[in-house]
A and B are shown apart, each in its own frame.
Chain A
């Protein structure tokens, strides 16, 4: 009973064929010589080792017979790589440079319907009552005529009438908003919203003068 070629034998033949193809053209007869010698090796393991040696030989010959590897070609490759690196660096600098400021955190705006308090404040800057400091334990320096009809949507009414001067009020986020707090009788909602609003974020009124 004649068994067919084993797995190792087939692999060895494939490797030897690849080695014969890999050898440079001037040495291709040597590749055929190595490949045909496989048929005279009876042991499959020895044939596989022989094929591995053929692969080593062919790749070594291929690497040592590179006709284009000289100093001029190497210098050209180095110059090309340098130019490419400079171009990549310039492109990165153009797209990523100048961004030295850290990104600002997103501030969630309250979805409630706030009055435009800053516009009124701008209008009232000439009024001496706006910039007047709040007296300790006294009344607020807000003209009630500028408040809305319901008395709750008035942004200027957020200034506490009874808050002592200089005392900072911490908001729900632990930040100082310069003496702003919930107006009296505004319900349980957050600062800056009506009582039916549930947004916990405080309003942002950048133009409001702080009490001294």
Chain B
């Protein structure tokens, strides 16, 4: 089958890539949704999701720019240590995380039934 330029364009228009749907983003949203009211540190998130810092921080930046994540500086619990940057989901971020969790659950159920 030969695809010309117009058909390729139409295919991309029909199936646009969903934002924040990568495996790493879904893992991060799931980890943040697990304790949605708590402020989380970057290193804790990296240990929980298994993401490297080179992958984790670009995701955190992007989610923050999209308004799905809020961040602030938190004073250290022990003296002599610098303040840490902490993160948690906003309301829209929690909605997106729940939507993706539900979609993943449906896909898992459909796969189990098939």
Contact = CB atoms under 8 A, between A and B. Distances in A.
Contacts of B52: 49, 53
B111 to A, nearest CB: 33
Contact of A36 (B53, B56, B58, B84): B84
B84 A54 contact: no
B50 interface: no
B43 A39 contact: no
Contacts of B85: 29-30, 32-33, 36-37
Interface string A53-78: 11111001100000000000000000
Given A53-B54, A57-B54, A37 B61 contact: no
Interface in A11-38: 27, 29-30, 32-34, 36-37
A36 to B, nearest CB: 4
Contacts of B41: 37, 40
B81 interface: yes
B53 A39 contact: no
A90 interface: no
Given A50-B53, A53-B52, A40 B58 contact: no
Interface in B45-71: 46, 52-58, 60-61, 71
B84 A30 contact: no
B54 A37 contact: no
A52 interface: yes
B57 to A, nearest CB: 5
Nearest to A36: B82
A53 B55 contact: yes
Q: Which of A27, A32, A41, A53 has the most chain B CB atoms closer than 10 A to its own CB?
A: A53
B43 A56 contact: no
A37 B84 contact: yes
A30 B71 CA distance: 10
Interface of chain A: mostly helix, strand, loop or mixed: helix
A57 B58 contact: yes
A205 to B, nearest CB: 78
Contacts of A52: 53-54
Contacts of A57: 53-54, 57-58
Interface string A99-123: 0000000000000000000000000
A61 B43 contact: no
Given A34-B53, A37-B42, A40-B41, 10 more contacts: A27-B61, A32-B85, A33-B71, A40-B43, A41-B43, A49-B53, A50-B53, A53-B54, A53-B57, A57-B57
Interface of B: 41-43, 46, 52-58, 60-61, 71, 81-85
17 contacts: A30-B61, A32-B85, A33-B84, A34-B53, A36-B85, A37-B41, A37-B84, A49-B52, A50-B53, A52-B54, A53-B56, A54-B53, A54-B54, A56-B54, A57-B54, A60-B58, A61-B61
